[in-house]
Amino acid sequence: MTGLVHGTTRAVAFDADGTVETGLVHVPHAPAPSTGFPVVVFGHMTTGASRRSAPSTGSPEHPEWRRMSQGDALCDALLSRGIAVLRPDYPGIGSAGEHPYLIGRPLGASLCAMVRARSTIDDRLGDDWLAAGHSEGAVAALFASVAPEPDSRSRLRGTAAFTPVTRMDLSIRLARALPAAVPGSGVVSALIALMLRGASTEDERLRELIATDGLSDRARARWGDLDRLCLTELSAPGSWGDIAPARIGGRSGDELFRLLYRSFRANDVAALRGFRSPVRIDAARFDEVAPAISTAALMQTYRRSGAELTGRWWPSHHSGTMRARYAPSEAADWIAAQLDVTP
């Protein structure tokens, strides 16, 4: 990982409940305080579901570099404030097995596991931590925030969710109306494939449909690409980029997507309750992935449920919100305040 100027970076492996996962650790150049560096564990946006999609193995030459490095501006801002950052690759990307794409509990558990392993990762890391993430990573962060503390010493101080995805059932219903591959539809088809793969990790019937007649012949022929390609490659011609969203389902496609929508509802961040610390959501007014109307409803739901919520809107799109001049410019100060880090 390059482009970070305020700390040292290295790839690490850590124990996630008996499974070895991988990730990145960024530690400030400054001496650690007596209580250790406060920690932000940051979940990355979608990069794919294969080992090739792991940000810890990325470089500027990697086709997925734009998404892999999407959190660097925030990370650098935190390092400059004396805050360490841990960035897990997620299960099935930084470990064996299948990636549980958009399945909240295992994603949140990956963030918690990296916090739990902090003393073996670097003995300068302290016990105060904050969950953060962008897009898929925001889902991970929100689920991590309602899970039990990683250990008896850790203390969750807040949650920073950047463009969290919600109500994906509505978005995918609309996307499936596209009858032919058009510019931009390739990434939609690739994401639908990742969603089906993720949902199938906890639904045996969905797995059966994927293996039989739930997928069209063309989609089934491309299913193996999920194990070897990153999202950019999956979205391109020659892979899922050649398949229109409406052409993914097979003879049992209606049941296939009915089960997918059920998974969306079960894993929607809008259903989360019991946040133990303040929550911040940075949203994009022109978000093509997490539409503003859905995010506004999410914020309203959290406020009504009693969450201590800070909401901030930015004049950008889904990825652009993480540019240094947008969300990181204010979110880093908010995060530092939750962790009691003074300027």
Q: How many domains does the chain have?
A: 2
Q: Are residues 140 and 288 in the same domain?
A: yes
Q: What is the pTM of this model?
A: 0.95
Q: Are residues 198 and 319 in the same domain?
A: no
pLDDT at 4: 82
Angle separating helix axes 136-146 and 104-116, nearest 10 degrees: 70
Q: Which of 207, 237, 265 is the last residue of a domain?
A: 265
Q: Which of 265, 292, 315 is the last residue of a domain?
A: 265
Q: Are residues 74 and 131 in the same domain?
A: yes
pLDDT at 184: 61
Q: Are residues 173 and 288 in the same domain?
A: no
Q: Are residues 184 and 324 in the same domain?
A: no
Q: Which residues contact 148 (CB under 8 A, 6 or more apart)?
A: none
Read off the tokens for 20: 């070895």
Secondary element (H or E) of residue 105: helix 104-116
Q: Flag residues of the chain having pLDDT under 70.
A: 1-3, 178-184
Boundaries of domain holding 229: 169-265
Q: Are residues 40 and 159 in the same domain?
A: yes
Distance between CA atoms of 240 and 242, rounded to whole angstroms? 5
pLDDT at 1: 47
Q: Which residues contact 34 (CB under 8 A, 6 or more apart)?
A: none
pLDDT at 200: 98
Q: Are residues 65 and 149 in the same domain?
A: yes
Q: Are residues 155 and 92 in the same domain?
A: yes
Q: Are residues 214 and 334 in the same domain?
A: no
The verdict on residue 110 lying in a domain is yes
The verdict on residue 216 lying in a domain is yes
Q: Are residues 120 and 30 in the same domain?
A: yes
Q: Which of 265, 296, 328 is the last residue of a domain?
A: 265
Compute the radius of gyration of the chain from its Cα atoms. 19
The answer to whether the beta carbons of residues 42 and 71 sit under 8 Å apart is yes
Q: Are residues 127 and 18 in the same domain?
A: yes
Q: Are residues 161 and 208 in the same domain?
A: no
Q: What CATH code is carried by the domain that includes residue 279?
A: 3.40.50.1820
In the DSSP assignment, the letter for residue 282 is E
In the DSSP assignment, the letter for residue 269 is G
The verdict on residue 2 lying in a domain is no
